[in-house]
Chains A and B, each alone.
Chain A
Amino acid sequence: MTVTTPGAGTPATQPLDGINVSVDGIEVNVPKGTLVIRVAEQLGVAVPRFCDHPLLDPVAACRMCLVEIEGQPKPQPACAITVTEGMKVRTQLTSEIADQAQKGVMEFLLINHPLDCPICDKGGECPLQNQAMANGRGETRFDGVKRTFPKPINVSAQILLDRERCVSCARCTRFAEQIAGDPFIDLLERGAKQQVGIGDDTPFDSYFSGNTIQICPVGALTSAKYRFRSRPFDLVSTPTICEHCASGCSLRTDVRRSTVLRRQAWDNPDVNEEWNCDKGRFAFGYQADGRIEHPLVRDESGELVAASWPEAIAIAAEGLKAAGSRSAVFTGGRLTVEDAYSYAKFARVVLGTDNIDFRSRTATAEEADFLAAHVAGRFDGPSYADLEAAPVVLLVDFEPEDESPIVFLRLRKASRHGVRVASIAPFASSGLTKLKGSLISAGPGQQPALIASLTDNVAASDSAQTATLLREQGSVILVGERAAQTPGTLAAVADLARTTGAKLAWIPRRAGERGALDAGALPGLLPGGRPLDNDQARVQVAGEWGIEIDQLPPVGLSLTEVVSTVHADNSALASAADPTKVERSITALLIAGVEAGDLEDPASFLMAVDSVPFVVSLEQRHSDVTQRADVVLPVAAAAEKAGAFTNWEGRTQTFGQVLRDALTMSDSRVLAMIATVAGSQFGRGDIAEIRSEFRRIGPWSGNHTHMSDVGSVDTIELSSGEALVSTWRPLLDRGVLQEGDPYLAATARPVEARLSRATADAVGATEFVVVSTDNGSIELPVTITQMPDGVIWLPTNSEGSSLRVELGIGQGSVVRLSGGAA
């Protein structure tokens, strides 16, 4: 935009196709289609408003933004009028008519407002309060009877509505309909009785419901979590990045007396715009309760007992140093970039091993291969903005609404503008329906062949269009971490991207996975995506780390390989005539943030942990791993440290320490202390040092590795009564980081099993189905769904459906089905 102040002369650059308008006498040139209220904003003129929201379609309902437009007999709503050439706008600053109109509307808004500001959550940050001060009259002339409603009502377990505070701006309802695609709330009744409400049996259980609280211009919508907990002016706010998923939302975390009370979406136009999901907003109770408070060490009797930091660090350092290259490091997927980098360096420099894996889930060699070749240290993938410009976005084993909600919202925005979405999945989920997407139906195991048919452009008619569009400039393929669970899928996806020229992104679920990958927390990969077996890469990293090149270890083992190695050690020991002669290959584990229940085979993992002689666990909360560890060192939760997360785009975003007086230490600090006691050169583990070191290493500019051939994949023959499992995690489930937030949990989707009619009939599952394996069985209500026969979809880790722990199964496993009790 070009601003011309009277007398300032004509600026050199005038956009040719812009529109010339004046606001309060200031002439500007703005793009065609700009709304008057936006022009005023750009000039710094604050036209008061309630219903206007830059990301929602205009309604012009509140009439607060009335301005005078020359030639128009009536004042006009600035939020709904687009500029025309030569338009002369006068706002309340220069027009008596506009000023009077606004004061009148403000007076009307207040006659029925309860003015309970002293007990209202919004008081102190309330657009109605603020604008009443700026654009209203000091005194009310209303002396009648105000409209009242019984207060409040629950529109969901989490969201409460005080109807008498509502100004009927329809921001919440438009958000639900236009942005989230969950129109569970709407305006009901008419006239002064108009109110927001829900259907009888349909609460506002949207994954995005919390946004309505934030955009409500009054205190009509509040959350059960925060209601009456604080006044805005008692809060200390810190800009943060959400730790829950790879979307990478900018948040604002609000603290009162060293307690996190609230999180809100923060404005980040490139990423989350102004939205976030309810998990990111409401799931932070886990940081407060059930934390490990001090170091623990195992005493002679085998009990974990409290220890001082120096004592615990000394034991950890001694044990790990003794194991050296016969140790392995598992870091989970939730670490900050800085902490992941510290583990990556600690493993190589202090322990001298490359046995490090950030993947605490099903993880395959094919995936490691894929990540090294196509993801690690590469920043040429698609961005959020690219999703909006793509001819087609193909989703492979990826359910954005559940697994990366802001990707979902951006795809929804894109699809509203005509971007096509196609999904390779077993059924059309509610998310895909909201994206107006087309389903390329695939049961477990069928993905590679279907992807190959797109690659070869021989796809069946309903997906032929996707195949064609993928070849157009700017198309995007988004592949979820679940793809690793079907052999051949990731290789096929890489092929498809290469053949069509589509941009490819891998979207893990957890916030720390992409950062850990770039930091080098995977066997064979040094920081910045450097192949460990590349000489130049070794030179660069060794130089920065101050070690000799040959001190860098050879390519090590993944988590899965470590676990099988430990079991092999155990069998060797068990069968050996003289166990003292048998040397274990793995003698120590350093484990951070790993939930056994997330792994492919939790029992086998825990048996391995049990049998490794020395285990150090860095954790926030007690877990199956801490119970088995020899040394437990408590570390800081997200709010207690500064750090950064790298989202699926490869965008690294830093955040500050929210709880500034927290006494906990980051993983990096704790590792530095161990390294110091172990006598290794490691650094102080402080954030500035790590960041500058990591930045100096930078991304790898040499050649990336190629994926090796996957070979042919066995097809599974099902016997009668059997089915293949398809599964992912709904956004809200039994995840540990959602503990302590009952209202949030109450808005989760119902736990159900999905089957085709034929599959259900074949096993007599009318209302319930019993799913069993040799490990156990579960019983769930059935939702008949159009999907391939012989397949059952189950939530991975929901109440009553913990597949790993209860059944020992995952994506693609075979289960037995039978009808349940009705």
Chain B
Amino acid sequence: MPLTPILTAHWDDEDSHTLTGYRRHGGYDMVAVTLNSNPDDVINLVKESGLRGRGGAGFPTGMKWSFVPQNDGKPHYLVVNADESEPGACKDIPLMMANPHALIEGCILASYAIRANHAFIYIRGEVPHVIRRVAAAAREAYSAGLLGKNIQGSGFDLDLVVHAGAGAYICGEETALLDSLEGRRGQPRLKPPFPAVAGLYASPTVINNVETIANIPTIVRNGADWFKQFGTEKSPGFKLFAVSGHVERPGIYEAPLGTTMRELLDYAGGVRKGHELKFWIPGGSSVPMLMPEHLDTPLTYEDMGALGTMLGTGTPMVFDETTSVVRAISRWIHFYKHESCGKCTPCREGTFWLDQILERFENGTAAETDIEKVDEICKQIAGRSFCALGDAASTPYAPALRYFREEFLAGTHTPANQLFDPVASTVFTGAMA
């Protein structure tokens, strides 16, 4: 399938991040018209487009919006999840750097649809340059009368707050994000009530990913049928595929859903010269790995699900034969242990335990019984933790063991660094020689 530069179409304009740059290509053109239409029409349009959330779970966006109770007398909120912190996920941050106005326009349209007069963009705290850029774009939008009171004479008011997180992966989980935004310690909330009913400040709230919201202006501008011509029936539209790892040209490739990994690899110039594909991961670190034989499966929610993995954030990671699977899994587990919020037992204690055993595999000091033990610990976490972070921590090991058991066996006697030179898998490997 060909690339479909839509969100990314003008990223190489020098001023793509400015209001002028965005407007040059029709940006904000639909705002005035839309704000004078019936908000329900916007919800129906998004429903009809079949747009699914780009934050990982793929929940139908229009449906999510329609859960917000109307005429309930409470304020409504739109919250944009820009906490992008998952290892491997790198699409929202480039989008916000290159085209923040697409996100802001999306916020205006989405807020209008759900009757929110207050929107928040929650950006992970470690990326001040992104925070500055989005804040600057918001200022531009305010001075152009696109935000604030009575936008474009429509009578619709919207205030937009750019909020910096404090550096916790868990604050990307939507309810933990809400707690964090309210000034509390970020831990997931018990559901129900769902955010659509009682979210931020116990009021109806829609939480969407950056890319999801940035898609909205394109749909409003071009219509649902136009959107549906891309992708498959169950996964309509296009996607920012952020390909990283051992490829010649890592980066963002915008293509229809249903594009295969083989095609994406081609766009990215293939696996590093002189190396071959060992395994790959379709989404961020939270989804199970796939092998070279899976390269021709379409990258859709449904096809990835059928393979026992997930499309996730649609940010594939590619690993060549220099990679130690043990080290990779150990790093991820260490990440989850470090990021576990501590609320529930399986994730808090399970990742603490897993981390110690995986370190032993990495050092070549594991016992053979540890191989099954880790598998059982993962099973004791999966499906039993409070939120999806625990699930994410428990999923990488089983497929890794299925495909690369011998590496774990080796971990009972030989350190991973002796089997796989860590430098060989880095980008600077040549420079070290």
Residues of chain A at the chain B interface (Cβ within 8 Å): 58-64, 66, 73-75, 80, 101, 104-105, 107-109, 111-112, 141-142, 144-145, 147, 167-168, 186-194
Q: Are B352 and A61 in touch, CB under 8 angstroms? A: no
Q: Which of B209-217, B276-284, B338-346 contacts A (4 or more CB under 8 A)?
A: B338-346
Given contacts A80-B190, A191-B351, contact A108 B341 (CB under 8 A): no
> How many Å lie between the Cα of A193 and that of B373 in the bound state?
23
Q: Which of B74-82, B128-136, B289-297, B379-387 contacts A (4 or more CB under 8 A)?
A: B379-387
> How many Å lie between the Cα of A64 and that of B386 in the bound state?
11
A194: chain B residues at CB < 8 Å are 341-343, 348
A822 to chain B, nearest CB (A): 36
Contact residues of B between 181 and 229, Cβ < 8 Å to A? 185, 190
A141: chain B residues at CB < 8 Å are 373
> How many Å lie between the Cα of A492 and that of B377 in the bound state?
69
Does B353 lie at the interface of the complex (its beta carbon under 8 Å from any beta carbon of A)?
Answer: yes
Q: Are B345 and A192 in touch, CB under 8 angstroms? A: no
Given contacts A104-B384, A187-B185, contact A61 B344 (CB under 8 A): yes
B128 to chain A, nearest CB (A): 22
Does B165 lie at the interface of the complex (its beta carbon under 8 Å from any beta carbon of A)?
Answer: no
Does B168 lie at the interface of the complex (its beta carbon under 8 Å from any beta carbon of A)?
Answer: yes
Among A61, A62, A105, A144, the residue within 8 A (CB) of B353 is: A144
> How many Å lie between the Cα of A141 and that of B341 in the bound state?
24
Interface bits B361-395 vs A (CB < 8 Å: 1, else 0)? 00000000000010000011001111000000000
B210 to chain A, nearest CB (A): 24
Does B357 lie at the interface of the complex (its beta carbon under 8 Å from any beta carbon of A)?
Answer: yes
B side interface size, CB within 8 A: 29
A sample of 11 inter-chain contacts (CB < 8 A) reads A63-B346, A104-B379, A108-B380, A109-B349, A142-B353, A144-B356, A168-B342, A190-B168, A190-B341, A191-B340, A191-B351
Does B337 lie at the interface of the complex (its beta carbon under 8 Å from any beta carbon of A)?
Answer: yes
B380: chain A residues at CB < 8 Å are 101, 104-105, 107-108
Q: Are A63 and B384 in touch, CB under 8 angstroms? A: yes
Contact residues of B between 233 and 275, Cβ < 8 Å to A? none
Given contacts A74-B383, A107-B380, contact A187 B342 (CB under 8 A): yes
> How many Å lie between the Cα of A191 and that of B386 in the bound state?
13
Among B185, B339, B386, the residue within 8 A (CB) of A61 is: B386
A109: chain B residues at CB < 8 Å are 345, 349
Does B411 lie at the interface of the complex (its beta carbon under 8 Å from any beta carbon of A)?
Answer: no
A87 to chain B, nearest CB (A): 15
Q: Are A192 and B342 in touch, CB under 8 angstroms? A: yes
Does B62 lie at the interface of the complex (its beta carbon under 8 Å from any beta carbon of A)?
Answer: no
Listed from nearest, the 8 A-B pairs whose CB atoms lie closest are A194-B342, A104-B380, A108-B349, A144-B356, A74-B383, A191-B340, A192-B352, A190-B342
B337: chain A residues at CB < 8 Å are 191-192
Q: Are A190 and B190 in touch, CB under 8 angstroms? A: no
Give the nearest-CB partner of A113 in chain B: B349
Among A61, A74, A112, the residue within 8 A (CB) of B349 is: A112
Q: Are B384 and A145 in touch, CB under 8 angstroms? A: no
Q: Are B348 and A59 in touch, CB under 8 angstroms? A: no
B343: chain A residues at CB < 8 Å are 59, 61, 168, 194
Interface bits B156-185 vs A (CB < 8 Å: 1, else 0)? 000000000000101000000000000001
A74: chain B residues at CB < 8 Å are 383-384
Among A59, A63, A64, A191, the residue within 8 A (CB) of B385 is: A63
> How many Å lie between the Cα of A130 and that of B266 in the bound state?
60
A86 to chain B, nearest CB (A): 19
Among B346, B348, B385, the residue within 8 A (CB) of A192 is: B348
> How many Å lie between the Cα of A199 and that of B380 in the bound state?
35
Q: Are B342 and A104 in touch, CB under 8 angstroms? A: no
Give the nearest-CB partner of B340 in chain A: A191
> How many Å lie between the Cα of A333 and that of B72 in the bound state?
54
A63: chain B residues at CB < 8 Å are 344-346, 384-386
Does B316 lie at the interface of the complex (its beta carbon under 8 Å from any beta carbon of A)?
Answer: no
Does B350 lie at the interface of the complex (its beta carbon under 8 Å from any beta carbon of A)?
Answer: yes
B351: chain A residues at CB < 8 Å are 191-192
Residues of chain B at the chain A interface (Cβ within 8 Å): 168, 170, 185, 190, 337-346, 348-353, 356-357, 373, 379-380, 383-386
Among B342, B350, B373, the residue within 8 A (CB) of A189 is: B342
Q: Are B384 and A168 in touch, CB under 8 angstroms? A: no
Given contact pairs A192-B348, A194-B341, a sample of 19 additional A-B residue pairs in the complex whose CB atoms are under 8 Å apart: A63-B385, A74-B384, A75-B384, A80-B190, A101-B384, A105-B346, A108-B348, A111-B353, A112-B352, A142-B353, A168-B345, A168-B348, A191-B338, A191-B339, A191-B340, A191-B341, A191-B348, A192-B342, A194-B342
Give the nearest-CB partner of A189 in chain B: B342
Give the nearest-CB partner of A57 in chain B: B190
B340: chain A residues at CB < 8 Å are 190-192
B384: chain A residues at CB < 8 Å are 63, 66, 74-75, 101, 104-105
B357: chain A residues at CB < 8 Å are 144
> How many Å lie between the Cα of A37 and that of B168 in the bound state?
33
Give the nearest-CB partner of A59 in chain B: B190
A188: chain B residues at CB < 8 Å are 185
B137 to chain A, nearest CB (A): 32
Give the nearest-CB partner of B337 in chain A: A191
A243 to chain B, nearest CB (A): 41
B203 to chain A, nearest CB (A): 19
Give the nearest-CB partner of B379 in chain A: A104
B348: chain A residues at CB < 8 Å are 108, 168, 191-192, 194
Given contacts A58-B190, A63-B346, A192-B337, contact A75 B352 (CB under 8 A): no
> How many Å lie between the Cα of A188 and that of B340 in the bound state?
13
A142: chain B residues at CB < 8 Å are 353
Name the residue in A104, A141, A188, A193 with the highest tally of chain B Cβ atoms < 10 Å from its Cβ.
A104
> How many Å lie between the Cα of A58 and that of B341 in the bound state?
18
Give the nearest-CB partner of B341 in chain A: A190
A107: chain B residues at CB < 8 Å are 380
Q: Are B352 and A147 in touch, CB under 8 angstroms? A: yes
B322 to chain A, nearest CB (A): 30
A98 to chain B, nearest CB (A): 11
Give the nearest-CB partner of A62 in chain B: B345
> How many Å lie between the Cα of A111 and that of B340 in the bound state?
17
> How many Å lie between the Cα of A64 and that of B341 in the bound state?
18
Give the nearest-CB partner of B353 in chain A: A111
Q: Are B342 and A64 in touch, CB under 8 angstroms? A: no
A680 to chain B, nearest CB (A): 68
> How many Å lie between the Cα of A486 and that of B343 in the bound state?
52
B71 to chain A, nearest CB (A): 23
Q: Are B345 and A193 in touch, CB under 8 angstroms? A: no
A416 to chain B, nearest CB (A): 14
B346: chain A residues at CB < 8 Å are 63, 104-105, 108
B344: chain A residues at CB < 8 Å are 60-63
B185: chain A residues at CB < 8 Å are 186-188, 190
Give the nearest-CB partner of A80 in chain B: B190
A59: chain B residues at CB < 8 Å are 190, 343
Give the nearest-CB partner of A191 in chain B: B340
A196 to chain B, nearest CB (A): 11
Give the nearest-CB partner of A186 in chain B: B185
Give the nearest-CB partner of A50 in chain B: B345
> How many Å lie between the Cα of A194 and that of B185 in the bound state?
11
B295 to chain A, nearest CB (A): 29
Name the residue in B341, B349, B386 with the highest tally of chain A Cβ atoms < 10 Å from its Cβ.
B349
Name the residue in A58, A66, A144 with the highest tally of chain B Cβ atoms < 10 Å from its Cβ.
A144
Q: Are B341 and A111 in touch, CB under 8 angstroms? A: no
> How many Å lie between the Cα of A75 and that of B390 in the bound state?
14
> How many Å lie between the Cα of A111 and that of B379 in the bound state?
16
B168 to chain A, nearest CB (A): 7
A198 to chain B, nearest CB (A): 15
B272 to chain A, nearest CB (A): 35
A193: chain B residues at CB < 8 Å are 342
Q: Are B350 and A108 in touch, CB under 8 angstroms? A: yes
> How many Å lie between the Cα of A279 and that of B126 in the bound state?
49
A81 to chain B, nearest CB (A): 10
A489 to chain B, nearest CB (A): 40
Give the nearest-CB partner of A195 in chain B: B342
